[in-house]
Structure 1
Amino acid sequence: MPLRKILVPIRELSESGKLSGLLLLVATLLSMLVSNSGWASHYRHFWETSLGWGPLVKTTAHWVDDGLMVVFFFSVGLEIKREVLYGELTDFRQALLPILAAAGGVAVPAGLYLLFNAGTATSQGWAVPTATDIAFSLGILSLLGEKVPPSLRIFLTALAIIDDLIAVVIIALFYTAELQTTYLLAAGAILAVLAGLNRLRVSWLPLYFLLGIGLWFFVLKSGVHATIAGVLLALTIPTDAIERLEASLHKPISYLILPIFALANTAIVISAESVGQLLSPLGLGIGLGLLLGKPLGIFGATWLAVKAGISALPERVTWFKLLGLGFTAGIGFTMAIFIANLSFTDPNRIDLAKIAVITGSLLAALVGMLVLHLADKADDSPAAADLVIEPE
């Protein structure tokens, strides 16, 4: 049947993890095409339309960033809690290598960005190239199939989760507006109640979600970015409900929320001038931060940790494959675009930052796939042992 011929490949893409990344890519391309067509003014007007009532009047785009994305950050919080309690981050020694790799993958891109932008009006964008997009990066690994050992996927997953945790901390500490003490105290009170419910082993989730709405409102009005409420709520959820919630949220987030986020945040007008601006300090800082800073930071921190005897490479992971993983982690997209929105107020700078994120992420993905492909071939060659750097 014709319908079956359409549905079967879609189901296979979904099961392999490739569909979510593909939808993000399609949404991005569609948004950029419409933004550079005769429908551009109508399209941008839609995202700039104000919705809401009373103290909750925001543009459609802001509702996506401050509302829908809270669900995404809630899932990030659940994933962090799961990994810390009984996942890859449970054992500190086992978690140390991805922790150090993630720290290097944040510090080097930030430093590279500041190398171009320190002391300028664009210096506040230093965190944009520090983020890794889990969906896209794991999607790239899935495209390579058996060429990528399971241990490399696990390492990238752990690294990306830690990277997300660092991003949450960065947003909370460095991208917070003037704090409103009354709202902040109210948010703290609700968080204390949520923690108490968890402590008392209350398992009725609707109560957590109802209080979570209040937490979101007070965090939003406090000056701290509203998405932090999603992470805080996730950390109070009963442990036995985590996997069930993650499973139920996976499809809505991957196939609805993130594509809508891409549509809302890539309404960018492309011109010869904007493309030329990629060679400006802002464009180079973000683009090179993702393309070069990420792999240098991850590879360098890992090499130092192994060289110092602090940890060892995961099974079947060579240095060549680790380098490919480093490039793959340079796919910033979702979180990088999100931080770009927080970093700048000038629409032109925001658009340029997004173009740089998309360009840097695309190049990082292509280079990462090439390096991992070559690494797989190198494993089959007699000279493969020469690619491994043994610690002293």
Structure 2
Amino acid sequence: MKALRGQQFPAVLLLVAAALGLLLANLPTHDSIAEVLGFHIAIPGTDIDHSISDWIADGLLAIFFLMVAIELRHELTHGELDSLHKAAQPAVAAAGGVLVPIAVYLLIAGGPDTASGWPIPTATDIAFALGVLAMFGRGLPSGVRVFLLALAILDDIIGIIFIAVLFAHDVQWGLFLLAVVAVGAFAILSRMLGRSGHWLIAVLMIIVGVATWVLVSESGVHATIAGVMLGLVMSPVPAERTRHALEPWVNGIILPVFAFAAAFVVIPQLGGEGLSPAFWAILIALPVGKVIGITLFGWIAMRFRPRGQAPALVLPDLVAAGVLGGIGFTVSLLLANLAFAGEADIRDQAILGVLGGSLIALVLSAVIVSLRAKHYRSLES
């Protein structure tokens, strides 16, 4: 359990799961695994009838977003984003890490068939990025990790907004309003639990949480938003206990299972000229667009800091954070599935672009972070 609460082992596990999914999709095992992932399970009394792969993306990933929202709430109230002063440089850098990859993507794949994929390269995978930082960043100042954490959390906020706004279809506002009411009840129950700790309240919270997920899913808004809403309103003490309890399960099962299912893609038997522009756009926008956007905008924010105030991050460390930010992975895979939900061929190539671009960013970040860590260790010796 201790290893699953760290940063290195979960990152390795995630990478292995994705590699295994991609490998088995391109071996004779493909058909049998595809049949399992395509098997449908319905909730009686509702219109919810999903394949196992959809249950993974809509159900299991909602638990991941619940944990992300709990961490986000903590950072916004008591952590690294609890003031405008603390959030300024990572916020500006995060904006660059979104805008530049979008521009790169649209420049390459702005045609009518592929333009809808522009949100895909905007995400940063916090688990992977911090895992690489932990493995190769021994000796780096704590400010680099703090900056990257704030940057990744802000990226998560943007990704959540994209999912909620761009991928909601035929929204039934009455059901969504009922979901909001359920979230309010969940918030009240969490505060009651914080005072008493009674098991019955915890059971009621689980029931209300599941009901919220069903209502959000039925409303037409992506079901993972239910996890976000519940995490943001939970009382601090139960929220921290929930995060602590969920962390090994999310790191050890939920994220690897999602990575496996999302990466279960057949590599197209085509030459380079036959690949979709979406593939090339994501492959370039993640490692290149991210590092340019984060570095440039972060440097601009640093130049306009108040006189006499030390910079949050120096330029070479901004470059290191930028390449780490190019590891899109989890949220980018989800966005790829959503952006091209009705176009399987383009979706699969977009997923390959996410995997390839994230791998390039991972290798570059390992090299650059190692060099920066070596530099700081030499200063101390």
Structure 2-normalised TM-score?
0.91
For 2:324, the equivalent position in structure 1 comes to 328
Residue 147 (structure 1) shift: 3.7
For 2:33, the equivalent position in structure 1 comes to 43
For 2:227, the equivalent position in structure 1 comes to 230
Residue 200 (structure 1) shift: 7.1
Alignment-mate amino acid for residue 146 of structure 1: R
Q: Are residue 239 (structure 1) and residue 236 (structure 2) matched?
A: yes
Alignment-mate amino acid for residue 335 of structure 2: I
Distance 2:23 2:190 in 1: 47
For 1:313, the equivalent position in structure 2 comes to 311
Distance 1:33 1:216 in 2: 33
Asked if 1 retains the 8 angstrom alpha-carbon contact of 2:136 and 2:373, the reply is: no
Residue 373 (structure 1) shift: 2.6
CA deviation string 1:188-226 (max 9, x = no partner): 322333345567786543333221111111100111000
Alignment-mate amino acid for residue 225 of structure 1: H
For 2:65, the equivalent position in structure 1 comes to 73
Name the count of aligned residue pairs.
Answer: 369
Asked if 2 retains the 8 angstrom alpha-carbon contact of 1:21 and 1:135, the reply is: yes
For 1:362, the equivalent position in structure 2 comes to 359
For 1:101, the equivalent position in structure 2 comes to 93
Distance 2:206 2:377 in 1: 52
Residue 119 (structure 1) shift: 4.1
Aligned residue among 326, 330, 337 for 2:333: 337
CA deviation string 1:128-173 (max 9, x = no partner): 0000001111111111142422211111111111110111011111
Distance 1:198 1:169 in 2: 25
CA deviation string 1:250-293 (max 9, x = no partner): 10000000011012111111244176555x42112111110111
For 2:203, the equivalent position in structure 1 comes to 206
For 1:34, the equivalent position in structure 2 comes to 24
Q: Are residue 270 (structure 1) and residue 267 (structure 2) matched?
A: yes
Asked if 1 retains the 8 angstrom alpha-carbon contact of 2:190 and 2:205, the reply is: no
For 1:24, the equivalent position in structure 2 comes to 14
For 1:7, the equivalent position in structure 2 comes to none
Q: Are residue 125 (structure 1) and residue 117 (structure 2) matched?
A: yes
Distance 1:195 1:15 in 2: 26
Asked if 2 retains the 8 angstrom alpha-carbon contact of 1:274 and 1:352, the reply is: no
SS at match of 2:256: helix
Query: Structure 1 pair 23/232, CA: closer, same or farther in 2 (3 Å)?
Result: same
Distance 2:207 2:98 in 1: 35
Alignment-mate amino acid for residue 313 of structure 1: P
Distance 2:377 2:133 in 1: 19
Asked if 2 retains the 8 angstrom alpha-carbon contact of 1:175 and 1:225, the reply is: yes
Asked if 2 retains the 8 angstrom alpha-carbon contact of 1:299 and 1:326, the reply is: yes
Q: Are residue 304 (structure 1) and residue 334 (structure 2) matched?
A: no
Residue 330 (structure 1) shift: 0.3
Alignment-mate amino acid for residue 63 of structure 1: W
Distance 1:31 1:275 in 2: 23
Asked if 2 retains the 8 angstrom alpha-carbon contact of 1:147 and 1:373, the reply is: no
Structure 1-normalised TM-score?
0.88
Asked if 2 retains the 8 angstrom alpha-carbon contact of 1:116 and 1:285, the reply is: yes
Asked if 1 retains the 8 angstrom alpha-carbon contact of 2:137 and 2:373, the reply is: no
SS at match of 2:113: coil
SS at match of 2:50: strand
SS at match of 2:270: helix
Alignment-mate amino acid for residue 349 of structure 1: I
Stretches of structure 2 that go unaligned for 5 or more consecutive residues are 196-200
Distance 1:321 1:306 in 2: 12
SS at match of 1:66: helix
Alignment-mate amino acid for residue 232 of structure 1: M
- Greater mean deviation of Cα atoms: 119-128 or 366-375: 366-375
Q: Are residue 172 (structure 1) and residue 164 (structure 2) matched?
A: yes
Query: Structure 1 pair 42/357, CA: closer, same or farther in 2 (3 Å)?
Result: same
Residue 341 (structure 1) shift: 0.6
For 1:194, the equivalent position in structure 2 comes to 186
Residue 95 (structure 1) shift: 1.4
Asked if 2 retains the 8 angstrom alpha-carbon contact of 1:198 and 1:237, the reply is: yes
- Greater mean deviation of Cα atoms: 125-134 or 13-22: 13-22
Residue 240 (structure 1) shift: 1.7
Residue 318 (structure 1) shift: 2.9
CA deviation string 1:288-313 (max 9, x = no partner): 11011111111111111111225753
Query: Structure 1 pair 193/367, CA: closer, same or farther in 2 (3 Å)?
Result: same
Distance 2:267 2:108 in 1: 23
For 1:139, the equivalent position in structure 2 comes to 131
SS at match of 2:138: helix
Query: Structure 1 pair 193/14, CA: closer, same or farther in 2 (3 Å)?
Result: closer
Aligned residue among 341, 349, 352 for 1:352: 349
Distance 2:92 2:310 in 1: 12
SS at match of 1:146: coil
Asked if 1 retains the 8 angstrom alpha-carbon contact of 2:139 and 2:376, the reply is: no
For 2:369, the equivalent position in structure 1 comes to 372
Q: Which stretches of structure 1, 4 residues or longer, exceed 6 Å deviation after superposition?
A: 199-202
- Greater mean deviation of Cα atoms: 299-308 or 124-133: 299-308
